[in-house]
Amino acid sequence: MAAHASHLTTGCLLRFILKETSLSKRGLCAGFNTVRGCSSLCGRLTALSASCCAHERSVLVKHYDSLVRSSSLKEDAQQRAALFQLEQLKRVMTDYNNIHIYLPLPKHSKSQSIYDSELDNILKSRESEACRRVSSPEEDKDDKNGTHKETPKPQPPCGFYIHGDVGTGKTMLMDLFYSFVENSRKKRVHFNAFMLDVHKRIHKLKQSLPKRRIGKMTMYDPIFPVAMEIAEETCLICFDEFQVVDIADAMILKQLFEGLFKCGVVVVATSNRPPEELYKNGLQRAAFVPFIGVLKKHCHTISLNSGKDYRTMEMELARKLYYISSEPDAENAVNTLFEELAYRQNDVTRPRVLNVLGREVTLSRTCGTIADCTFKELCERPLGAGDYLEIARLFDTVIIRNVPQLRVGMKDQARRLITLIDNFYDRKVRVVMLAHAPLDRLFDQGPMSGEEARDRLMIDELGLTDEASRRLTLFTAEEETFAFQRTVSRLTEMQTEQYWVRGDRS
Q: For 228-277, write each residue's pLDDT tens digit.
A: 999 999 999 999 989 888 888 999 999 999 999 999 999 999 998 899 99
Which pLDDT does position 432 carry in this prediction?
96
Mean pLDDT, residues 395-415: 90
* Residue with more model confidence, 480 or 335: 335
Q: How high is the pLDDT of residue 103? A: 54
CB 354 within 8 A of CB 394: yes
The pTM of this model reads 0.64
pLDDT classification of 504: cutoffs 50, 70, 90: confident
Report the CATH fold assignment for 116-135+156-304.
Rossmann fold (3.40.50)
What confidence score (pLDDT) does residue 79 get?
Answer: 95
Q: Express each pLDDT in 140-165 by its tens digit.
A: 444 445 555 555 556 789 999 999 98
- The pLDDT of residue 261: 95
pLDDT, averaged across the chain = 77
Question: How much is the pLDDT for 338?
Answer: 96
Q: Specify the domain boundaries for CATH 3.40.50.300 within the chain.
A: 116-135+156-304
| The pLDDT value given to residue 111 | 36
In the chain, % of residues over pLDDT 90: 45
CB-based contacts of 97, cutoff 8 Å, min separation 6: 185, 235
DSSP state of 146: S
Q: Which residues pair with 355 in a beta bridge?
A: 360
Separation between Cα atoms, residue 397 and residue 344, nearest integer Å = 13
For 441-487, what is each residue's pLDDT tens digit? 888 755 444 544 555 555 455 554 454 444 444 434 566 666 788 88
Q: What is the average per-residue pLDDT within 120-124?
A: 52
What per-residue confidence (pLDDT) applies to 203?
87
Which pLDDT band, with edges at 50, 70 and 90, does 170 fall under?
very high
Which of 57-71, 167-181, 362-376, 446-460 is least confident?
A: 446-460
Angle 116-122-260 (CA atoms, 0-180°, nearest 5)?
A: 120
pLDDT at 129 over 70: no
The per-residue pLDDT for 305 is 87
Compare 26 and 158 and report the one with higher pLDDT: 158
The percentage of residues in the chain with a pLDDT greater than 70, rounded to a whole number, is 67
Can you give the pLDDT at residue 437?
Answer: 93
d(CA 350, CA 334): 17
pLDDT value for 486: 84
Work out the average pLDDT over 483-498.
Answer: 87
Give CATH for domain 315-502. Answer: 3.40.50
Would you say how long the chain is, in residues? 506
pLDDT at position 13 is 39
Which pLDDT score, from 0 to 100, does residue 472 have? 43
Output the pLDDT for position 17: 37
> Looking at the predicted structure, is the pLDDT value of residue 358 above 90?
no
Residue 223 confidence (pLDDT) above 80: yes
Q: Which of 430, 434, 410 is nearest to 504 (CA)?
A: 430
> Above 60 in pLDDT, residue 438?
yes
Quick check: 404 pLDDT over 50? yes
Nearest of 95, 88, 87, 91 to residue 64 by alpha carbon: 87
Q: Which helix (H) or strand (E) holds 337?
A: helix 330-343
